[in-house]
């Protein structure tokens, strides 16, 4: 089934550790996004990529980095995790910036 795959589905991580959240899509979408969702808040954009080889900063980029080496993969890295990064992380993709976004099922990340 075509869609977006995120891994892991959940993770508990010690503060200070490095962590990479994986995201793969098989729809050949040009644009990809990383969001975090916190209780009581809307989704907030962390980083995005309009096409392979390019990335941009969203609303809350600090402490996170991304890369887009190819069309399908868009990993999100926490270089040194802090408790405030405890959240649910969603990866999404779309044909372009004006088309509906398709979401993965999320990664639930707890930083202790």
Indicate the residue among 80 and 99 with the shorter CB distance to other proteins: 99
The C-alpha atoms of residue 24 and residue 72 are separated, in whole angstroms, by 5
For position 60 contacting other proteins by CB under 8 A, the verdict is no
Query: Are 47 and 58 in contact, with CB atoms under 8 Å apart?
Result: yes
Q: From the CB of residue 25, how many other CB atoms can be counted at a distance below 10 Å?
A: 22
Indicate the residue among 26 and 105 with the shorter CB distance to other proteins: 105
Taking the complex as a whole, the smallest distance from the CB of residue 53 to other proteins amounts, in Å, to 17
Chain positions contacting other proteins, by CB under 8 A = 4, 40-45, 48, 50, 58-59, 90, 92, 97-106
């Amino acid at each position: 089934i075509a869609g977006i795959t995120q891994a892991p589905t959940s993770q508990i991580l010690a503060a200070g550790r490095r962590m990479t959240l994986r995201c793969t899509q098989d729809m050949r979408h040009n644009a990809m996004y990383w969001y975090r969702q916190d209780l009581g808040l809307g989704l907030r954009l962390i980083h995005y990529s309009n096409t392979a080889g390019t990335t941009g900063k969203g609303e809350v980029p600090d402490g996170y980095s991304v890369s887009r080496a190819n069309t399908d993969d868009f990993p999100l890295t926490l270089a040194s995790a802090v408790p405030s990064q405890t959240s649910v992380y969603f990866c999404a993709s779309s044909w372009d910036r004006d088309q509906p976004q398709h979401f993965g099922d999320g990664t639930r990340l707890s930083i202790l």
